[in-house]
Structure 1
């Protein structure tokens, strides 16, 4: 039996059954010395995802530290329970640890309001540790690699989560509206894998409640960075997933005063539907320029 099959069996069976430490140890003994750390990393991640306290206990007893687990160790694991997080805290996990591309632990659970509440109650901060302070005239490399938590929530989370973190002092960052607009273009009406109503609700919340500037730039004046497209409406036309009808979103932004000019030149060749929607909006009587979902 080769190492790969032993590794897979050990990880899957030991984690799924939460008991077969013998098989896990057998796989470890067969792993090359230079892959031991990788082996334990994989088993630890699977154990966290599957709430395998017995396996985590064994790894910790073997000398594995959980102190520096970062949000990246939890992202994508929708099964992780509060009991597992509690166990990790008891064994020294620093809930505010981050790595280069992480913001706060909340980014790992932005889809789960109750888990966000739990994290806050157990010491999670809404300000990213050792993050460069926000300024209007500078966008640092650290800030480009690690967005503010509300920028992440604006793209993927719920309005309730956004409001909660905002009430705790989380900063808006450079582009919460930009990210919300971008993901509001995602999905397809007939095969929808994203909650479009929630995404549109997020756009409206950031516009109407937060009062975010509909023409805000995503970087300091005169600067240019990859992955930064300009004002919020530019994130509509440059979206990589323009399968759904975006007229509702376009008109909402225009109703709030968005200047379509910077997006129109790009849209003429890449997304003509946007040009049509802008022209249709302009032809409306001024009194009728009011999006039906406001």
Structure 2
């Protein structure tokens, strides 16, 4: 009906949403889009507000409201809606982190206020220190700043991530990113070597933990072999694999993979770490670097 008569199409939406499908959120969202497309922002706002009142707690409705205000040029209203969502979601860590990232994007990319964006992410990390996506977004915020003043912030992000309850694989990739940044923008070779030594120490430490977990207790009864007299004899220990000094010679898996993939599925698509060419470095090592080239990949 829309091409023939806007009033008739509007009447269909109204009857459907107010009488027949009062709680079907997808129909209300279509109605709000219809009103916005035809310039009636007031009615679009009313439809979305009424939907959020009747069916509370839907993230897509709150994001649609924030998007409507952003497209209308009312960034302060968009920010207020997202801040309210962050405040209401404090008892639900994964939802709190989700809204915090959305708010930080708005503050950084459109409001041009990295200080506020940083504060939002840091506060979210106090609630969800094990959320790798929050660590990643904070790191990318620091990396996107002026290299002459961002080195300390980048290293603080890396240090925070290494101290957080993240997977060993993720910690290694954060450490790699810190070393990558030091090599690209470090002001002295001594600072780069310091970061490199810390990275090697981390690789060795995590490698030792992994070997211990894989080998287990050498005195495990199940690993005891039988001697000629029937007595239990410890099985000969196997030499652990040598930890290579050259780290990560093959491209690592995505930054947010492994044990965090399920938690991140609800956030939408985020960019993967793009492989960079191998090159010589300190001590003759070569490294395949993976990192996000922008602050926020397309979602």
Q: TM-score, normalised by structure 1?
A: 0.40
Task: Say which structure is richer in strand.
Answer: 2
Q: TM-score, normalised by structure 2?
A: 0.40
Higher Cα Rg: structure 1 or 2? Answer: 2
